[in-house]
Structure formats: C-alpha cells, structure tokens
A and B are shown apart, each in its own frame.
Chain A
Amino acid sequence: MAGKDPARLLHFYEDMLRIRFFEEKVRDVLLPQRLFRGSSDLYIGQEAVAVGALHALRDDDPVISTHRGHGHALARNLDPYALFCEIMGRTPGTCHGKGGSMHIADAGRHFVGENPVVGSSAPMAAGLALACALERNDRVVACFFGEGALNTGAFNEAANLASLWRLPVLFLCENNLYAISVPLEKASAITELENRACCYGIKGQRVNGMRVMDVYEAVSQAAGPMREAAAPAYLVFDTYRFEGHHTADKQTYRPDDEALRQFRERDPIHILEREMIEDHTVDLDTSIAYRDRIRAEIDDALARALEAPWPEPEEALVGVYAKGEVE
C-alpha cells in the first residue's frame, strides 16, 4: 500500500504536527494575549484530512477552503510566518492584513482561499473546475467544507451543476459532528452523509478522517479517474474538532468530557504515531526529534511574526478594484 511508504508517513507526520503546533500557538499565545481580532477557527483534530487529501493531490490543483482553513493552507505549504502575520493583521501576511484568519489566500500556491460563508465555496469550486474542463487540463479542484454546508442550497446547486457538466470538483466534506453548537443529527435529515450527493449521480464514500493513510488512499483513488475523465467526486471524512467552533466558543452544547474522550481515542496524530512505532517506521526518539524540530520552526515563525510591521491605516483605501484606487 502506497500509504505505508515510510518516507511518506513521515512527511504526513511532519505536516500534521505543523498544523497542530501552529493552532496551539493561536490558542495558547495569540488568544490570551489578544493578538488577533474577531475569532479564529481551529483545525485541531482534523489534521489528517487536510494532510492526507492535499498529499494525494498535485500542487497545481486549486484548493478552496473554509473558515476553518489554517490546516488546509499549511498542508498546501503556505508559510506559517505569513499565516501568523495575516491572523495578526500584519503587512507580511498572505493578504497584507486585509483578510485575516478567515480569508487566507495564496494565488501562487493555487490556494484560492478560505471562504467562511458556509456553502458559498461549492459553486466557486464548480467555476474553478469549469475552467479546468474548458482548458482540458487534468487538474482537480479540492473543495473542503464542513458537514453543515451540506444543508445549504449552494452545495446542492453546485453538486447538480458539477455532475451535469462533468466538472472535476472533489467535494471533501469534513464531518466534525457540529455546526457551531448544533449536532449533526439535529441538522441533517439523514446522518449517512455519504448519501447526500448520490441523487445527483455523484457516488459518495465515507472515510475515516482520523487516519491519514485512509484519507490519502481515498483521495488518491478518487482523484485519479477525475484526471482521466472530468467528473466530480464526493468524500465524507469522519472527524472531530477537539476545540470549540471558534476561540470564543463556550462549548455548552457537548458533555464536558466528550472532547477529552475523543482526543484520547481518536487523535489523528496519536493514531499515526502509534502505527508508525508499531511498524518500526519511527522509534520514540525520532518522533520526539520531529516534534522538537517542528515546534522550533513554529516558535521561530511566531517570534518573527510578532515583530512584523503593521500596515499603514491608509492602505485600507487601496486595492478595492483591480486598477486604480478608491475615489
């Protein structure tokens, strides 16, 4: 199995740790010190989905993400320093401070951006895929969204159009069980979410989103045929967010011990570590060395970001239109 390639597993491990440590800095440093505005939606717990999926895709496959998109951005190799800067509103941020935590984008890495209007990204993904189809390139558009987006009209319009027009949209549904506070079973008439696109002729597949190898295999198998003959595919990943919806979430809607229990049983990084140690891909010392190295990298990125310059207030007036300034 390709997923068992030790070098690949270590690469997964490294990228998942990077996301985890990055988000822990947001939670443990940026939040208490009030270094960002609004809210920040943490990806902790879902790392296997972003990493497995984006490793299975090519670097030139466009990605469109959600409000919970730091993980997708980092898995697409965006610079943690540029992400920290953007979240803190500093000039070297990916969007020079105009976007913030919910609007990370990087055109050069085909990371079209986070779209925090739930469901809104699905028709955009279909449009990006229409461009692929018209150009007859063999790219696949990765459209990440949470299970809450399945209930929007936008998703349903996009799924129908993508299937009707044979557009290479890879719908990647991260089922983390909650839409802010509302649990899946109170929001969706059916909980077998893999069936939510079959009425449009798009086969759905349910995948363990906590096991990065499973994600990688499923996305690889889905994307391959899409490159040969453009058509959409739809995968649902069972996952869980160990943190609140956003950093200000009081989490009154789930039992006190639920997140902790989920973390003990389902942490995707622990699952990967355990399997790698059992397979002798790594020993404990190697895994500690990886953790130390990535942690130091994130520490360094944050330290530099904290020193990064602020934009001049008047820069707010620049860049509303592609040419020219606000009048």
Chain B
Amino acid sequence: MASGKMRNITFAQAVRTALREEMKRDERVIVFGEDVGQYGGVYGCTTGLQREFGEERVRDTPISEMGIAGIAVGAALAGYRPVAEIMYVDFLTHASDGIVNNAAKWHYMSGGQFSVPVVFRSPGGGGAGYAAQHSQNLEAWFAHIPGLKVVVPGVPRDARGLLKAAIRDDDPVVFIEHKAHYGFKGEMPADEELIPFGVAEVKREGTDVTIVSWSRTLTFALEAAEQLAGEGISAEVVDPRTLQPLDITTICESVAKTRHLVVAHEAVTFGGFGGEIVAQVTEHAWESLDRPPLRIGAPFVPLPYSEPMETFVIPQVSDLVARVRAYLG
C-alpha cells in the first residue's frame, strides 16, 4: 500500500485480481471447477485466467463436486495450492465429504504429518431469484467444523486481500462470496494487500449500537447505519470478515462502547452464526450490555422464488433500520 493509490472495482474483479496475483506469484496455485476455463466462471471470477495461465493450471471440470473437492484435497496433500470453485454454496453439500471429512481432518488425524492448503470458493446467498436450492447461506455449518477456516468478505477490498491470504494459508479455507454482490463496487488498493484472518474491521464508527454483519448484509448494515444517523442514532458496524477464526475481541470492545449488540445476517436466524456471536458476547461482556442482544436473520423457511416473498424473507436495509430503531426504542 506504499503508493496509496486506489482503484474502483467490482467484487468479481477483486476475486479475479487475487487469483491472478497469486497464480503469478506461485506456480503451485491451480484453479479448477465447473465452467472456470474459457467461460471464465458463471459469475466471471476467472475470466481470462485460462488464457493467461494455460489449461493445465486453470481447468474446467465435469459436474462432479465430490470429485472436485477430493481432487483438490489430494493435490493439496501433494503440495499444490488448489483453489476449487464450487458453483453454488448449495453444492457444497455434494463436496462436503472432501471438505468436512477429509480436508478439515487430515492434518489433525495424521498427527500433523500432512497439511491441506486448499481453498473452496463458492457463491452463496439469495436475492437473485434462484430459489431454495441455489441461494442458501451455510457459513455456520462450516464454521462449526474444527479444521476449517471460514471467510465471508463483504466488500471488494476484503475479497481480494482475504482470498490472497486464504491461498497462502496452510489450512483448508471455505471462502464464501455472495452471488447478488459480484457487481458491487468498492475501492481497492492498486498495490498488493493481504488481509490476515481473525481480524475484524470496524467499517463505521458509532456510539449507540454495534451492528455485526458480513457478506452482502454488511453493505445493507452500512446503508442502514447511514439512514439511522439521519434519525440521530449512531450505529457502529463491525465486520468480522472471517468467522473461523473469529475476532470476538473487537466485537466486545465495540459493545463495551455502545452497550447494544445487533447481529445481522442473511442466513436463517435459528442456528445461524449470529447465535454464536451473541453467546460469546454475553459470556465475555455481559456487563457491557444494557439490554439483551438482537439477532436479525431470515425466518425459518427455505428461500422462496417469487420476488415479494424472497424480499420479505431476506433482511433488507429497511428491515435493519426498523428493527434497530425498535431495539433501541
């Protein structure tokens, strides 16, 4: 960041930038998945990579998520740094044998003889009209698995810096992007930047309430904070950026200042990762809280297709504004 020059890019371009930079830096970085080659990925995150790095390092796979995950694990065990794209988070269920049973366990189970430096990139989330089987938010599942690291970037700069760190990490990483957010634009340093795991960022400072949020909902929280400011409510927005490892310290420090905690995510509230954050804050910083924390998430339903229903289920900016206002009222 020496020059301090910034570029305005989309989330998808940020992902692609990270892949390209890391592939240039380390020839052990290989990319594969469905449609990632000539086509550039269904969301354009690998555009041009096959032309630049060749068909050996950027491979189209058949529709074989179990195979993709297993091959990624095997290649990682042999010293490569595979970045496997699983086209939708929902299809991680197919890939989960490789991710959950093998990638997460091999280092521990072998007594530390092997490491598994693999990244599973996958777009999650709704808002694009893909209905119940192409829109889920499963980050809490993977954050629950010892051995995995879970990254949930919300803005382009973080997507690039965290993906680079993920590729260089010696452990398996589940890197969840948001499919309705690939066109979202933001500032990114022109120079290389790595963002370490387990370091939350206060995305907006405030004094009345802490809103913890990630992925696309983070940008909703920032918009909501802007609107609340107009009503005289000062919201601090904290982005954990990685759920495993989780920087609970920064969250607790913020709550100590604001004395109010809201966690907002797109996943179903019940059993969602918001529950873990609320539990940890109440355990570590109970005396900081002036009232019980609030979780904002989706109701306990599969995501419906029709737009009015989908919009109703996914927490929107207006929902965040109304619920934070009511929470403080």
Please measure, in the bound complex, the distance between the C-alpha atom of A321 and the C-alpha atom of B82, giving whole angstroms: 18
Cβ-defined contact, A130 with B245, below 8 A: no
Q: Interface readout for A156-176 with B: 1 if CB under 8 Å, 0 if not?
A: 011011001100000000000
- Whether, in the assembled complex, B8 has its beta carbon less than 8 Å from a beta carbon of chain A, the answer is no
Cβ-defined contact, B146 with A326, below 8 A: yes
Q: Interface readout for A311-327 with B: 1 if CB under 8 Å, 0 if not?
A: 00000000111110011
Q: Interface readout for B58-85 with A: 1 if CB under 8 Å, 0 if not?
A: 0101101011111111111111101000
Q: Interface readout for B73-113 with A: 1 if CB under 8 Å, 0 if not?
A: 11111111010000000000000011001100011111111
B113: min CB distance to chain A, Å: 4
Cβ-defined contact, A95 with B71, below 8 A: no
- Using A105-B114, A131-B75 as known contacts, say yes or no to A321 and B107 having CB atoms under 8 A apart: yes
B:1-41 near A, CB below 8 Å: 30
Q: Closest B-chain residue to A315, C-beta based?
A: B111
- Whether, in the assembled complex, A107 has its beta carbon less than 8 Å from a beta carbon of chain B, the answer is yes
Q: Closest B-chain residue to A141, C-beta based?
A: B74
- Whether, in the assembled complex, B126 has its beta carbon less than 8 Å from a beta carbon of chain A, the answer is no
When A and B form their complex, what is the total count of cross-chain residue pairs whose Cβ atoms lie within 8 Å? 143
Q: Closest A-chain residue to B69, C-beta based?
A: A123
Cβ-defined contact, A123 with B66, below 8 A: yes
Cβ-defined contact, A106 with B67, below 8 A: no
- Whether, in the assembled complex, A66 has its beta carbon less than 8 Å from a beta carbon of chain B, the answer is no
Interface size on A, residues (CB 8 A): 45
A5: min CB distance to chain B, Å: 33
From B64, B78, B111, B113, A157 is in contact (CB under 8 Å) with B64
Cβ-defined contact, B110 with A98, below 8 A: yes
Cβ-defined contact, A154 with B66, below 8 A: yes
From A124, A161, A326, B61 is in contact (CB under 8 Å) with A161
- Whether, in the assembled complex, A126 has its beta carbon less than 8 Å from a beta carbon of chain B, the answer is yes
Cβ-defined contact, A130 with B62, below 8 A: no
Cβ-defined contact, A131 with B74, below 8 A: yes
Cβ-defined contact, B111 with A123, below 8 A: no
- Whether, in the assembled complex, B223 has its beta carbon less than 8 Å from a beta carbon of chain A, the answer is no
Please measure, in the bound complex, the distance between the C-alpha atom of A124 and the C-alpha atom of B97, giving whole angstroms: 11
Cβ-defined contact, B67 with A126, below 8 A: yes
- Whether, in the assembled complex, A27 has its beta carbon less than 8 Å from a beta carbon of chain B, the answer is no
- Whether, in the assembled complex, A117 has its beta carbon less than 8 Å from a beta carbon of chain B, the answer is yes
Cβ-defined contact, B146 with A129, below 8 A: no
Please measure, in the bound complex, the distance between the C-alpha atom of A153 and the C-alpha atom of B68, giving whole angstroms: 12
A53: min CB distance to chain B, Å: 19
Q: Closest B-chain residue to A130, C-beta based?
A: B75
From A122, A127, A160, B77 is in contact (CB under 8 Å) with A127
Q: Hey, which chain A residues are within 8 Å of B149, CB to CB?
A: 321
Please measure, in the bound complex, the distance between the C-alpha atom of A62 and the C-alpha atom of B109, giving whole angstroms: 18
Please measure, in the bound complex, the distance between the C-alpha atom of A123 and the C-alpha atom of B99, giving whole angstroms: 12
- B102, B109, B117, B146 pick with most chain A CB within 10 angstroms: B109
A130: min CB distance to chain B, Å: 5
Cβ-defined contact, B64 with A134, below 8 A: no
Cβ-defined contact, B97 with A154, below 8 A: yes
Cβ-defined contact, A322 with B115, below 8 A: yes
A171: min CB distance to chain B, Å: 14
Q: Hey, which chain B residues are within 8 Å of A120, CB to CB?
A: 70, 97-98, 101-102
Cβ-defined contact, A160 with B67, below 8 A: yes
B:207-258 near A, CB below 8 Å: 245
Q: Closest B-chain residue to A167, C-beta based?
A: B71
From B75, B101, B102, B111, A98 is in contact (CB under 8 Å) with B111
Task: Please tell me the size bucket of the interface on B.
Answer: 35 or more
Q: Closest A-chain residue to B80, C-beta based?
A: A131
A:67-115 near B, CB below 8 Å: 93-99, 103, 105-108, 112-113, 115
- Whether, in the assembled complex, A125 has its beta carbon less than 8 Å from a beta carbon of chain B, the answer is yes
Cβ-defined contact, A128 with B75, below 8 A: yes
- Using A103-B110, A161-B64, A319-B111 as known contacts, say yes or no to A134 and B80 having CB atoms under 8 A apart: yes
Q: Hey, which chain A residues are within 8 Å of B170, CB to CB?
A: 321-323
Please measure, in the bound complex, the distance between the C-alpha atom of A126 and the C-alpha atom of B112, giving whole angstroms: 22
Cβ-defined contact, B74 with A322, below 8 A: no
Q: Hey, which chain B residues are within 8 Å of A126, CB to CB?
A: 67, 70-71, 74
A:116-159 near B, CB below 8 Å: 117, 120, 122-132, 134, 153-154, 157-158
Q: Closest B-chain residue to A64, C-beta based?
A: B74
Q: Closest B-chain residue to A97, C-beta based?
A: B111
Q: Closest A-chain residue to B170, C-beta based?
A: A322
Q: Hey, which chain A residues are within 8 Å of B108, CB to CB?
A: 98, 319-320
- B30, B76, B97 pick with most chain A CB within 10 angstroms: B97
From B70, B97, B115, B147, A127 is in contact (CB under 8 Å) with B70
Please measure, in the bound complex, the distance between the C-alpha atom of A65 and the C-alpha atom of B70, giving whole angstroms: 14
Please measure, in the bound complex, the distance between the C-alpha atom of A117 and the C-alpha atom of B78, giving whole angstroms: 20
- A95, A106, A132, A134 pick with most chain B CB within 10 angstroms: A134
Please measure, in the bound complex, the distance between the C-alpha atom of A326 and the C-alpha atom of B145, giving whole angstroms: 12
Cβ-defined contact, A327 with B245, below 8 A: yes
- Whether, in the assembled complex, B171 has its beta carbon less than 8 Å from a beta carbon of chain A, the answer is yes
- Using A117-B101, A124-B102 as known contacts, say yes or no to A320 and B74 having CB atoms under 8 A apart: no
A:240-296 near B, CB below 8 Å: none
Contact surface of A with B, Cβ cutoff 8 Å = 62, 93-99, 103, 105-108, 112-113, 115, 117, 120, 122-132, 134, 153-154, 157-158, 160-161, 164-165, 319-323, 326-327
Contact surface of B with A, Cβ cutoff 8 Å = 30, 56, 59, 61-62, 64, 66-80, 82, 97-98, 101-102, 106-115, 117, 146-147, 149, 170-171, 245
- Interface CB pairs A-B, < 8 A, 15: A97-B111, A103-B110, A113-B110, A124-B77, A127-B70, A127-B75, A127-B77, A128-B74, A161-B71, A164-B62, A320-B146, A320-B147, A321-B107, A322-B107, A322-B115
